[in-house]
Amino acid sequence: MSVHPASADAPTVFVHRADDVDYRHAQSWQLETADRLRAARETSEAQQPLEVLALIQHRPVFTLGAAANGANVLTPLADLAARGAEVIPVDRGGDVTFHGPGQLVAYPILDLHARAIRPVDYVRLLEQTVIDTLATFNLAAERVRGRPGVWVNGAKIAAVGVRVQRGISRHGLALNVDPDLSWFDAIIPCGIADAEVTSMSRLLPTAPTFEAVVTAYRAAFEHRFASRLIEVSDSPLAGVPSEAVLA
């Protein structure tokens, strides 16, 4: 795996920044965006940069990966719904996890084929972007053999789960900045029963602002993926009410 700093001719990745995002809406957006990127590549029409990176906060939701064990959801679905959270099966790797306010979710939709990045190396790069981000706040994070994601002092601070289809990536990672960690009591996170979940706010004497973490993550992503990030105004991920998505 070889990564170099971005140069003046580095590929452009468009950043979509949004909060309070409905999961199903983000799911549809990922599929549509990946299809456009794949079609442009296969028809040699990629004159405009089409790769994107969503940096968002979700409304409370539990997602079940393709290999998830339903028994790892410990709380009845009706009780989760009463708290305002859905449980949604998804096609990424991994088991069950939680997304919600205070958690930075990153969805890179990249052409890994064009970048000559193998899926296993892609996952390592995603983990490294989190490790770099946490280092900005003087948190020493690491990988743990046999346990995906990113860990600090034996507790999981970020989950990683991806899907690569015909060379195009979807899904991504979730970094716990300052979420309500009690949500994780409803599940066995990532199917690992003996692992604690932690957050930046729990580990640091003063919780960082969410935007400070976003800024640090952008810098880490730009470096590790040798890309130039440009923010999109009026992202279609922003401001879509749940009733509009479900209608």
Q: Helix (H, G, I), strand (E, B), or coil: what is residue 127?
A: helix
Q: Helix (H, G, I), strand (E, B), or coil: what is residue 135?
A: helix
Q: Which of 190, 197, 213, 216 is catalytic?
A: 190
Dist CA 46 CA 39 (whole Å): 9
The first and second tokens of residue 175, run together, are: 């970094």
Name the nearest CA neighbour of 109 among 27, 10, 224, 42. Answer: 27
**Dihedral sign for Cα atoms in the order 194, 195, 197, 203:** positive
**Which helix H or strand E contains 231, and what residues bound it?**
strand 228-231
Name the nearest CA neighbour of 184 among 159, 214, 219. Answer: 159
| Per-residue burial over 157-167, b = 16 or more CB atoms within 10 Å of its CB, e = otherwise | bbbbbbbbeeb
- Alpha-helical (H) ranges within the chain are 23-42, 77-82, 112-115, 119-136, 200-203, 210-224, 242-246
Residue 49 CA, chain-centre distance (Å), reads: 21
| Residue 238 phi, psi (nearest 5) | -90, 145
State yes or no: is 190 an active-site residue: yes
- Catalytic residues, which ones? 190
